[in-house]
């Protein structure tokens, strides 16, 4: 694991920032260094683009801008510029992210580091002074949603939301208080909900039903994006994702928000339902709308029959999800160049380059299949990734890996072709068909006639992706025990309410059983209606 974090003497060093950690209950998670490094790289490139846009709007050329306010075209991190961007970190905790932005991101005008906790706000102030970034960073103690609602007129160029769990409660105010063309940087860590463990809860939080699928991490990204798009659409705004990643225990999306009532109507073409077979797990997308000759039409629905055409099993339906692009490939390419030139000192730079190279190689086809799962469905040995990719490429289709899973198959080939390749491999490495149930998906797939004329597993020159050839750090293993989002901060608005959840839940089962016994006793006792005083009523009850 790459790790530039150093902890000593009540201080934490990450990047160019040094944070005082006297208050142990102010939330700080060292495992999210990659998240912060990626955010710095993205925000730096966005800030440069926005600076040039602001100069152009002001009618200034680069020389004129330099003469007017002394700003350099190639601003250095730590400098303040009037044509720079304004940033809000709505949930700042220690202020580490905001301070790193101030020290490592150029083209900045101001940063607001906000937290609802008084202790956290005090910690932010101390850290701002300690790092000498008072000219750029201002500490704030407010409810994040109220702060954003109050900023709908002035607006921020970038808003960073990194909550513990679900970000939904902040999205309505965020899409209103970000400027036209501004950037939202949003994290969600409630992966169990997004990954299909609780579809009903997912609908409550994100307005979409999740599915249990091997592609659950990309589904999580697409559920979050559709939720952001839904909030933005209510105010005549639409989103354009720059980068969407699923890493470690969370997802992180970077989206630009624009205002256009007309383009909001295109949302139906970028949203769709997912139909997943309960047998062979084939996934089919059904868009909510289609566009024909600049006109919006309703699609024919559903896109699947009552039973799966591959294995005759029923379907589960999930969504809606975002079926548009997850990334802006031009932006990703520029981001890779920017990291090489300007961010070589980042602590997780090798992993950044690996993940972004995989993202750059990804096809824009929604969702993916996992190779070992495909073969386990038909009870067959698993081929190497190179051979399976070669078969798809030899059949005339495109294929890539997804950054969300190291054994993923993302392709534009129809599922008929994928199952033909599986059948061709099974002929070489036969499954034990006599052990298969006659109604199983495996037997139905293996017994079907192939539709692809010739399946070849000969090595294709493009089968081995460049990121793999260069041995990049594409998928990081868990570096430590208990690698995850950490324990939620116990810092409250009211200092008297600091009891940890762990302590509150101690002996909860025994408490519950005692409460149930008391309730049962109350139910079994006769109800005495009397005008007698309570003491006499008790005697009557005892004598019955």
Q: Token pair for residue 71?
A: 């700003």
* pLDDT in the model for residue 536: 42
Alpha helix stretches (DSSP H) within 178-286: 191-194, 199-206, 216-233, 261-264
Q: Token pair for residue 174?
A: 């965020």
Q: Token pair for residue 281?
A: 């797990």
Number of Cβ within a 10 Å radius of residue 451: 10
Could you tell me the pTM of the whole model?
0.86
Q: How far apart are the C-alpha atoms of 277 and 31, rounded to whole Å?
A: 37
Q: 């993205």: which residue's tokens?
A: 42
Q: 3-class SS at 287?
A: strand
H helix and E strand count, the chain: 20, 18
- Percent residues over pLDDT 90 in the chain: 74
Which residues of 293-338 form beta strands (DSSP E)?
295-297, 315-322
Residues 6 or more apart in contact with residue 170 via CB below 8 angstroms: 90, 91, 144, 145, 148, 161, 163
According to DSSP, residue 268 is labeled G
User: What phi and psi values does residue 255 have, to the nearest 5 degrees?
Assistant: -130, 140
Beta strands 237-247; 290-292: pairing state: unpaired
Using omega within 30 degrees of 0 as the cis cutoff, is the peptide bond preceding 302 cis?
yes
Residue whose C-alpha is closest to residue 36's, from 87, 104, 90, 88: 104
* pLDDT in the model for residue 529: 38
Number of Cβ within a 10 Å radius of residue 332: 18
User: What phi and psi values does residue 23 have, to the nearest 5 degrees?
Assistant: -85, 110
* pLDDT in the model for residue 26: 54
Torsion over CA of 20, 24, 29 and 31, rounded to 10 degrees? 90
Q: Token pair for residue 518?
A: 């008391």
CB 251 within 8 A of CB 262: no
Number of Cβ within a 10 Å radius of residue 219: 30
CB 224 within 8 A of CB 190: no
Residue whose C-alpha is closest to residue 60's, from 381, 212, 69: 69
Residues 6 or more apart in contact with residue 372 via CB below 8 angstroms: 382, 407
Per residue in 471-481, pLDDT (tens digit) is 898 887 665 66
Residue whose C-alpha is closest to residue 38's, from 480, 343, 255: 343
* pLDDT in the model for residue 519: 59
Alpha helix stretches (DSSP H) within 105-190: 118-131, 144-150, 168-177
Q: Tell me which residues of the chain have a pLDDT lower than 50.
A: 1-3, 62-72, 491-499, 525-544
* pLDDT in the model for residue 530: 39
């Amino acid at each position: 694991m790459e790790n530039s974090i150093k902890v000593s003497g009540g201080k934490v060093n990450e990047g160019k920032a040094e944070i005082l950690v006297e208050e142990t209950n102010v939330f700080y998670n060292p495992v999210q260094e990659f998240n912060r490094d990626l955010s710095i790289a993205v925000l730096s490139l966005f800030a440069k683009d926005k600076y040039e846009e602001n100069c152009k709007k002001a009618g200034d050329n680069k020389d004129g801008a330099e003469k007017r306010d002394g700003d350099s075209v190639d601003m250095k991190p730590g400098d303040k510029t009037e044509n720079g961007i304004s940033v809000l970190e709505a949930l700042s905790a220690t202020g580490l992210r905001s301070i790193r932005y101030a020290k490592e991101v150029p083209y900045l005008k101001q940063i607001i580091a906000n937290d609802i906790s008084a202790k956290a706000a005090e910690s932010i102030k101390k850290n701002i002074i300690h790092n000498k970034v008072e000219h750029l960073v201002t500490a704030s103690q407010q409810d994040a949603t109220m702060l954003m609602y109050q900023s709908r007129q002035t607006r921020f160029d970038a808003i960073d939301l990194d909550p513990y769990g679900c970000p939904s409660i902040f999205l309505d105010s965020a899409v209103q208080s970000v400027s036209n063309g501004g950037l939202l940087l949003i994290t969600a860590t409630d992966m169990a909900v997004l990954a299909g463990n609780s579809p009903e809860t997912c609908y409550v939080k994100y307005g979409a039903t999740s599915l249990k699928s091997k592609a659950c991490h990309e589904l999580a990204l697409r559920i979050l994006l559709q939720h952001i798009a839904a909030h933005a659409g209510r105010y005549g705004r639409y989103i354009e994702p720059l980068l969407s990643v699923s890493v470690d225990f969370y997802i992180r999306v970077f989206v630009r928000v624009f205002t256009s009532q007309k383009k909001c109507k295109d949302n139906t073409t970028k949203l769709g339902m997912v139909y997943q077979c309960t047998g062979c797990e084939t996934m089919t997308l059904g868009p909510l709308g289609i566009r024909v000759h600049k006109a919006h039409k309703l699609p024919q629905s559903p896109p699947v029959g009552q039973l799966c055409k591959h294995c005759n099993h029923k379907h589960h339906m999930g969504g809606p999800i975002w079926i548009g692009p997850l990334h802006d490939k031009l932006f990703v390419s520029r981001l890779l160049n920017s990291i090489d030139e300007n961010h070589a000192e980042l602590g997780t730079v090798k992993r950044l380059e690996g993940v972004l190279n995989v993202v750059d190689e990804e096809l824009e086809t929604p969702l993916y299949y996992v190779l070992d799962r495909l073969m386990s469905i038909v009870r067959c040995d698993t081929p190497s990734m190179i051979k399976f990719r070669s078969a798809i490429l030899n059949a005339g289709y495109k294929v890539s890996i997804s950054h969300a899973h190291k054994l993923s198959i993302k392709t534009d080939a129809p599922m008929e072709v994928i199952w033909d390749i599986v059948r061709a491999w099974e002929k070489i490495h036969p499954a034990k068909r006599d052990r298969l149930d006659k109604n199983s998906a495996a037997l139905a797939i293996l017994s079907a006639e192939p539709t692809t004329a010739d399946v070849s597993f000969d090595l294709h020159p493009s089968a081995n992706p460049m990121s793999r050839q260069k041995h990049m750090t594409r998928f990081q293993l868990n570096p430590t025990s208990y690698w995850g989002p950490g324990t939620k901060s116990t810092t409250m608005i009211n200092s008297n309410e600091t009891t940890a959840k762990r302590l509150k839940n101690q002996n909860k089962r025994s408490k519950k059983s005692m409460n149930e016994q008391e309730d049962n006793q109350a139910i079994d006792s006769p109800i005495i209606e009397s005008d007698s005083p309570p003491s006499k009523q008790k005697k009557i009850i005892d004598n019955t």
